[in-house]
């Protein structure tokens, strides 16, 4: 298959009149300055697909259902109560239907791989399913149906709070023990084998949900794959951690866990200067979810200083309140602007484009966090390609990095024209090719769940 692009973002920068040859799901060759060959499909601007490193796909079904003011102070913890009620009745079929909708929307937004932080394990009454991977299989089937690259991150969750507190009733569908978790990870490895480019990591949920002994017991199960953990998302979580052990969550992790390049610390919102510098030095990735963090009122990650210190970042859609790769990068910059009352903060130097700086940083950080192979539009890499529509009102007459600024700050998901994942054309004219059937099943699922 040959694809021709007016412009393309290659590893060494932008090029014009680029012909990409794809074979067996991989990029075989990239040629620049080539006239469009007869028969080759022509598109606007090609950029590599990026990784969505943090998703809870089932939460797509409750997007917008927690936006009514409650009797007292609303925050992450009151949102979580709504989430617990929503997941109360989900069947494996519901999880598959909602996940497929979320994954199709991710591809339409320009994400070609998702790290699914999968923590729904048990039946509605909290009893384990007969098959340990019942709900993991629902996620895998959604990835298979939509074509998105899946890095499945089975979650270990055992407690309600620091110090091994007993779980709450609303957490009964998450709870596991190290033996059962080992079975789940083994199951996940065989389940993703049927996917093109499927991967597995592990996810100790948070220091609230996992004791130090349990963390030590499960870490070997990563077997070289990625380790993801929620950390320091909430000020109350930092206070509880201090009360438990005298250290802050990121401080504790850096001192007591082998945090390195294979780790992704999700959120890491509340950091001291020493924690921020330590995280940057560790080589781990900060998995930032700016739209969800804004929606939940979490706080603002110190992105500028962390990037200056060599820190690595990636983005995730987390609660899936909105699914928009460009929108996440925009929200990341806008939070800094509002806090600093200043503009163009996340471009490293004068003359640098903010959109391009954020896109490049999250392309590299996302691939690292999900342990992907060679990245970018180059021979040998997986053919994960996003074509942006240069006829979109926000992209007309743009060249080079201005295309990324137009996409990130204005066009958003509407500017995505086509998406290939492992060489397969999953999105054409902005629509996932199975959108009709996936959306119909999703609508029927939500009608039943929300009418009850």
Distance CA 202, CA 175 (A): 15
Question: How many other β-carbons are positioned within 10 Å of the β-carbon of residue 433?
Answer: 17
Rounded least distance, CB 232 to Zn ion, Å: 13
From the list 64-72, 276-284, 314-322, 333-341, the region that binds Zn ion by CB under 5 A is 314-322
Rounded least distance, CB 231 to Zn ion, Å: 11
Smaller CB distance to Zn ion: residue 318 or 405? 318
Rounded least distance, CB 31 to Zn ion, Å: 41
69: exposed, middle or buried (Cβ count in 10 Å: 0-12, 13-18, 19+): exposed
Rounded least distance, CB 117 to Zn ion, Å: 6
Binding-site size, Zn ion (CB under 5 A): 1
Catalytic annotation present for 161: no
Q: How open is the CA angle 158-162-164, to the nearest 5 degrees?
A: 45
Q: Indicate which residue of 262, 318, 384, 401 is catalytic.
A: 318
Distance CA 272, CA 332 (A): 19
From the list 25-33, 162-170, 220-228, 310-318, the region that binds Zn ion by CB under 5 A is 310-318
Residues between 26 and 85 that touch Zn ion (CB under 5 A) = none
Smaller CB distance to Zn ion: residue 4 or 76? 76
Rounded least distance, CB 52 to Zn ion, Å: 12
Q: Indicate which residue of 56, 159, 187, 267 is catalytic.
A: 267
Q: 56 phi and psi, to 5 degrees? A: -115, 95
Smaller CB distance to Zn ion: residue 262 or 318? 318
Rounded least distance, CB 56 to Zn ion, Å: 6
From the list 159-167, 257-265, 315-323, 364-372, the region that binds Zn ion by CB under 5 A is 315-323
From the list 108-116, 191-199, 317-325, 356-364, the region that binds Zn ion by CB under 5 A is 317-325
- For residue 256, how many C-alpha atoms fall within 13 Å in the half-sphere facing its CB? 15
- State the helix-helix crossing angle for 92-109 and 325-340, rounded to 10 degrees: 70
From the list 80-88, 278-286, 297-305, 316-324, the region that binds Zn ion by CB under 5 A is 316-324
Catalytic annotation present for 267: yes
Rounded least distance, CB 289 to Zn ion, Å: 7
Neighbouring-strand partners of residue 26: 23, 382
Smaller CB distance to Zn ion: residue 156 or 407? 156
Rounded least distance, CB 396 to Zn ion, Å: 37
Check binding of 233 to Zn ion (CB under 5 A).
no
Q: Which residue is nearest to Zn ion (CB)?
A: 318
Smaller CB distance to Zn ion: residue 119 or 407? 119
Smaller CB distance to Zn ion: residue 318 or 401? 318
Q: 131 phi and psi, to 5 degrees? A: -100, 125
Check binding of 116 to Zn ion (CB under 5 A).
no
Among 237, 251, 293, 318, binds Zn ion (CB under 5 A): 318
Q: Sign of the CA dihedral 207, 208, 214, 219?
A: negative
From the list 134-142, 190-198, 251-259, 312-320, the region that binds Zn ion by CB under 5 A is 312-320
Smaller CB distance to Zn ion: residue 56 or 360? 56
Residue (of 14, 23, 17, 22) closest to 4 by Cα position: 17
The pattern of x and - marking residues 343 through 382 that bind Zn ion according to CB under 5 A reads ----------------------------------------
Smaller CB distance to Zn ion: residue 318 or 384? 318
Check binding of 384 to Zn ion (CB under 5 A).
no
Distance CA 153, CA 427 (A): 25
List of residues contacting Zn ion (CB under 5 A) = 318
Q: Which residues are catalytic?
A: 267, 318
């Amino acid at each position: 298959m040959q694809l021709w692009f007016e412009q393309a973002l290659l590893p060494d920068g932008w090029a014009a009149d680029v012909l990409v040859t794809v074979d067996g799901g991989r990029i075989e060759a990239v040629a620049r300055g080539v006239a469009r060959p007869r028969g080759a499909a022509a598109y606007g601007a090609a950029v590599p697909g990026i990784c969505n490193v943090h998703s809870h796909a089932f939460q797509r079904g409750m997007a917008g259902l927690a936006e009514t003011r409650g009797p007292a102070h609303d925050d992450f913890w009151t949102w979580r109560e709504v989430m617990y009620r929503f997941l109360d009745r989900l069947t494996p079929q519901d999880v598959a239907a909602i996940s497929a909708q979320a994954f199709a929307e991710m591809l339409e937004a320009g994400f070609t791989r998702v790290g699914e932080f999968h923590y729904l394990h048990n039946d509605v009454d909290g009893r384990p399913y007969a098959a340990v991977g019942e709900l993991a299989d629902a996620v895998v089937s959604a990835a298979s149906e939509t074509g998105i690259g899946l890095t499945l991150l089975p979650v270990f969750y055992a407690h309600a709070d620091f110090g091994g507190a007993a779980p709450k009733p609303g957490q009964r569908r998450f709870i596991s023990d190290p033996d059962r978790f080992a079975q789940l990870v083994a199951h996940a490895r065989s389940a993703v084998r049927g996917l093109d480019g499927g991967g597995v990591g592990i996810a100790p949920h948070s220091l609230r949900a996992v004791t130090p002994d349990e963390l030590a017991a499960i870490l070997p199960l990563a077997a070289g794959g990625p380790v993801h953990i929620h950390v320091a998302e909430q000020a109350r979580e930092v206070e509880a951690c201090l009360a438990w052990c005298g250290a802050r969550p990121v401080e504790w992790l850096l001192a007591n866990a082998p945090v390195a390049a294979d780790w992704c610390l999700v959120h890491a919102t509340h950091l001291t200067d020493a924690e921020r510098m330590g995280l940057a030095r560790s080589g781990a990735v900060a998995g930032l979810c700016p739209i969800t963090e804004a929606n939940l009122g979490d706080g603002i990650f110190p992105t500028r200083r962390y990037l200056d210190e060599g820190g690595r970042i990636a983005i995730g859609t987390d609660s899936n309140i909105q699914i928009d790769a460009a929108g996440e990068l925009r929200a990341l910059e806008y939070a800094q602007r509002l806090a600093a009352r200043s503009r163009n903060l996340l471009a490293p130097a004068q003359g640098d484009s903010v959109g391009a700086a954020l896109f490049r940083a999250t392309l590299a950080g996302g691939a690292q966090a999900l342990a992907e192979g060679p990245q970018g539009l180059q021979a040998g890499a997986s053919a994960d390609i996003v074509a942006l529509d240069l006829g979109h009102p926000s992209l007309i007459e743009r060249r080079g990095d201005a295309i990324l600024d137009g996409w990130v700050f204005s066009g958003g998901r509407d500017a995505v024209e086509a998406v290939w994942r492992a060489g397969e054309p999953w999105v054409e004219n902005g629509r996932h090719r199975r959108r009709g059937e996936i959306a119909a099943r999703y609508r029927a699922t939500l009608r039943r769940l929300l009418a009850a």
